[in-house]
Amino acid sequence: MSSSSRVLVADDDRAIRESLERALQLEGYEVRTAADGVQTLAAVHQEPVDLLVLDVMMPGVDGLGVCRVLRAEGNRTPVLMLTARVETPDRVAGLDAGADDYLPKPFELDELLARLRALLRRSAPLPEEGAEPSLHVGDLRLDPSARRVWRAGTEAELSKTEFDLLELLVRNAGIVLDHTTIYDRIWGYDFGPESKNLAVYISYLRRKLEPAGTPPLIQTVRGVGYTIRPQ
């Protein structure tokens, strides 16, 4: 992580906002804060940042609304969504709005820092080495260089985290990857056996890549992990 990485923290809870600001500054980040969605959008439009930490529940325009507006504008800044909601549909709503990761409250600071580092690593530009060939599994085509994916000729819009997870599975097609390996490769941090983070992302990939009537690609190996293979 570069010491010049710029983070905008948006939360209507002043105590959380200020404590995160201090903690991130101690880690070397340049930090700006906002108390609601309108301030957040204005701040991003005024001066771009490298990463956004968005609380879902904010007055006026909430975190989901902020994320939808930015994505509609073509802004691909990585977004970590903070949410007090723990049910899977609520987490999926954040991903559907274009967030790259989510963290339920209350959270440990070390976990938040690990997630920010992972998002920044994945958003860093790759060295110019020419276009990499597309990867194929059945009727799925993945272009690593352009970070685009198609299923049966139809393109699917994926967030950074979704694409990274799918690419990991495709590059290891037919191999069962355990939870620990996936967490380490994608998030750089093993959230433990109780975490639902991976399951939510897998279910979201399935929603986007396995519409009704199409054969499943992503297979669950109960008690072990996941693999991808054509049926």
* Domain limits for position 27: 6-123
Q: In terms of domains, do 139 and 213 share one?
A: yes
Whether the predicted model's global pTM rises above the 0.75 cut: no
Token reading at 74:
């073509």
Helix, strand, coil % over all residues of the chain, rounded to 5: 40, 20, 40
Residues 93 and 173 in one domain: no
* Whether residue 36 is found in the same domain as residue 90: yes
CA gap 128, 194 in Å, rounded: 39
Q: φ and ψ at 3, to 5 degrees? A: -65, -15
Q: Do 44 and 105 have their domain in common? A: yes
224 dihedral zone (left: phi>0; alpha: psi -120 to 50; beta) = alpha
Task: Quote the CA–CA distance of 160 and 99 in Å, as a whole number.
Answer: 9
Of 55, 89, 123, the position where a domain reaches its end is 123
User: Alpha-carbon distance 8 to 27, whole Å?
Assistant: 14
Please count the structural domains in the chain.
Answer: 2
pLDDT of 110-135, one tens digit each? 989 988 988 888 776 655 555 678 89
Domain boundary among 96, 123, 150: 123
**Mean of pLDDT values over 3-7:** 82
Domain assignment present for 128: no
Locate 10 and state its tokens. Answer: 């948006």
For residues 11 and 41, state if they share a domain.
yes
Does residue 129 form part of some domain?
no
Per-residue pLDDT reduced to its tens digit, 28-48:
999 999 999 999 999 999 999
